[in-house]
Structure 1
Amino acid sequence: MLEKRGAELHLEEEEVRGKVKQSFFSQYRCGSLLGSGGFGSVFSGQRLSDGLQVAVKQICRNRVQQWARLPDELGPVPMEIALLQRLSEVGGHGGVVRLLDWFEVEEQGFLLVLERPPQCQDLFDFITERGALPERLALRFFRQIVEALLFVHAHGVVHRDIKDENIVVDTRTLDVKIVDFGSGARLKETAYGEFEGTRVYSPPEWIQSQSYDAVPLTVWSLGVLLFDMVCGDIPFERDEEIIKATPIFTRRVSKECQSLIRWCLSYRPEERPSLEEILSHPWMEGGEGEEGGDLQEDHSSLPGQSL
């Protein structure tokens, strides 16, 4: 939280840093490594006061791409902390991971304490184990994700790295949460000229001109994600395929679902739907009346529920 600004602050800084470090390790216990990526590592954890299962994300200072300022903090913090704190301050959303606490720890960078369902699995592993998902289950997941993104955008945040690895499934309830805002930014109406997301989920305009707008980027990545769910793999691997913007369906997929995917994967950003238009698409509305029954059937038939 503090940066050295002269010899007179050195002692004070060390005292504050020591208290922060002690504070984290007196409140939480870290467990096994859950995963790692370009922005840091995530560990299982436990809150000592009540045994709550949490995820602890460690971010090294030298890996932080974007910094932000927070009230009452003397030094800058990773943008991810600022974005998650903003979403938590407005009440949070069931489809967005909640930041419970954060610390700066000397020699370890920043530690983010995040909620974690007791039985969860990221959507990448979920699809890898089960293969292509039934459309009814894909619809259930997809609707939750789009609704969560509406909340995120409404509060001035854009995720910029929507993909199966950043969606966590509660394998008991089949509820999902968006995680990892490490590539996120403050939402703006003008174009972005930087991108730290995943290239195979990025749209043609980024590949060709290194520029994009927030909503068309998000909608393109949603098209890739929905294709991934119903076909078992992403539609594009190479830049030439992304620019061509013509998904080839490898499995039997309903015409309505194909229509939505192709709309999201429109080559021209202005021709893609808004998030609201996605929710009102016929395929999205088709399962409304049967969702309870579909959930019961899909849930009972899924293997590996004791994850």
Structure 2
Amino acid sequence: MHTSTSLAGRNANRGSQMQQLLQPQPFMVPSPGSTVYGSGGVAYTLGPPIKEGGFAMVYEAIDEFGNPVALKVLKPSADAVGLHQQWTHEHTLFLKLRHPNVVTIYDAFGANFLLFLALERAHGTIGDEVRQRGPMPEWRAREVARQLLFGLNFVHSHGVLHKDITINNVLVFNNPLTTTFKISDFGISRDLFTPWAMQPPELNNAIFPLPEILLQEFGGSSIRSDLYHLGLVLLFCLTGQLPWHEGTPQEQINAAALNGAPRQQAEALRTPFSAFVAVLLRRHADFRYQSALDAWRALKFIPAS
């Protein structure tokens, strides 16, 4: 028997079901082929997992109308109320941030003591593309930059700092004539308009560390932090690798970020576009472009190589 709740539900029965979801439960990994029921009773049949992160797992799925979706399920936590707040936060942001370069949400619901988000399904991540095909030609990397700056400008203008723009959170949608790159995963994002004293503790991506979190003298996180992460994504697109290898001890990754290794690697490519990427990768936030719009206005006047 399946239980189903909707964030928008206000009746007493749904309220009771949501209270059940807030109780700590053992994490039973959904199995491919199983079915969960979302808002309005829509059935989702799970396929294989797409990726697993520290806070959630994402599965391929098909809704009962035959539409492919990505089902994100949050891993239960001892802090059940905090988990529900995180789910509500991300659901609300996806509803708020409707944009061609932000992933679209279709549904948010609880089922079988788990919390789900149903999102549009991509063909893969930008990391997948580069690993499979090798480094991008510069014209394609510039298009990645254009689209993601367009998306980030919209996100920032709506008071949101993403904080986790990585090669795994930029999704690729291949269409017959064009490719669209979209921002996903707002799990650790921040509200730019909420006082810092009321914000949760800073989180730093282990593979995409921000110098301004590692060392406060570099400025503290801001919209320019998302631009630094974009610089790392573009550097990966151009070279096929990050400035550190998988499995590198965290202390060495942090030291490389603090010593400016990403910027130095971009500068070594010696093209006008790589010089643009190098500015995104300046250690001190004050020496980066000041906004996504500022970065775009610089990029559009840089000649293609």
TM value normalised by structure 2: 0.75
Which segments of 5 or more consecutive residues in structure 2 lack a partner in the other structure?
7-11, 22-35, 246-252
Q: 1:100 to 1:207 in 2, by over 3 A?
A: same
CA–CA distance in structure 2, aligned partners of residues 14 and 188 of structure 1? 33
The residue that corresponds to 1:113 in the other structure is 118
Tell me, in whole angstroms, the C-alpha distance in 1 between the residues paired with 2:78 and 2:129.
28
- Which stretch shows the higher mean deviation, 97-106 or 252-261? 252-261
Per-residue deviation, 1:147: 0.8
Identify the range of structure 1 (207-216 vs 227-236) with the bigger mean alpha-carbon deviation: 207-216
Aligned match of 1:180: 185
Q: When the two structures are aligned, how many residues end up with a matched partner?
A: 267
Match of 1:161 among 147, 159, 164: 164
Distance 1:64 1:122 in 2: 30
Task: Tell me which residue corresponds to 2:110.
Answer: 104
Which residue number in structure 2 is paired with residue 218 of structure 1? 226
Residue identity in the other structure for 2:228: W
- Rounded to whole Å, the distance in 2 between the matches of 1:218 and 1:123 is 16
CA distance in 1 between partners of 2:212 and 2:118 (Å): 35
Per-residue deviation, residues 228-255 of structure 1 (Å, max 9, x unmatched): 1111111256211111114343898452
1:226 is displaced (CA, Å) by 1.2
Alignment map for 1:146-157 (pairs within 5 Å): 146-157=149-160
Query: For residues 154 and 80 of structure 2, what CA distance do their matches in structure 1 show?
Result: 24
- The within-5 A match list for 1:264-303 is 264-273=280-289, 274-282=291-299, 286=303
The answer on whether the counterparts of 1:193 and 1:212 sit within 8 Å (CA) in structure 2 is: no
SS at match of 1:152: helix
Question: Shift of the alpha carbon at 1:100?
Answer: 1.0
Deviations along 1:26-58, whole A, 9 cap, x unmatched? 43222221111111111111121x211111011
Counterpart residue number, 2:56: 40
Kindly provide the CA deviation profile for residues 170-202 of structure 1, in whole angstroms up to 9, marking residues without a partner as x: 133311111111121222486677333423322
| Kept in 1: contact 2:173–2:180 (CA 8 A) | yes
Identical amino acids, percent of aligned pairs: 21
User: Of Structure 1 and Structure 2, which has the larger fraction of its residues in helix?
Assistant: 1
| SS of equivalent residue, structure 2 residue 207 | helix
> Alignment partner for residue 198 of structure 1, among 192, 205, 221?
205
TM score, norm. by length of structure 1:
0.75
Shift of 1:154: 1.4
Gap change, CA 1:224 and 1:63, over 3 Å in 2: farther
Judging changes above 3 Å, is the alpha-carbon distance between structure 1 residues 243 and 181 closer, same or farther for their aligned structure 2 residues? same
Unpaired segments of 5 or more residues in structure 1? 3-8, 68-75, 288-307
Structure 1 residues 196-205 or 124-133, which shifts more? Answer: 196-205
SS where residue 164 of structure 1 aligns?
Answer: coil
Quick one: distance in 1 between partners of 2:215 and 2:162?
A: 21
Q: Supply the RMSD in Å over aligned alpha carbons.
A: 3.4
Q: Residue 61 of structure 1 aligns with which residue?
A: 76
Distance 1:11 1:99, change over 3 A: closer
What amino acid maps onto 1:54 in structure 2? V
Question: What amino acid is aligned across from residue 277 of structure 2 in structure 1?
Answer: I
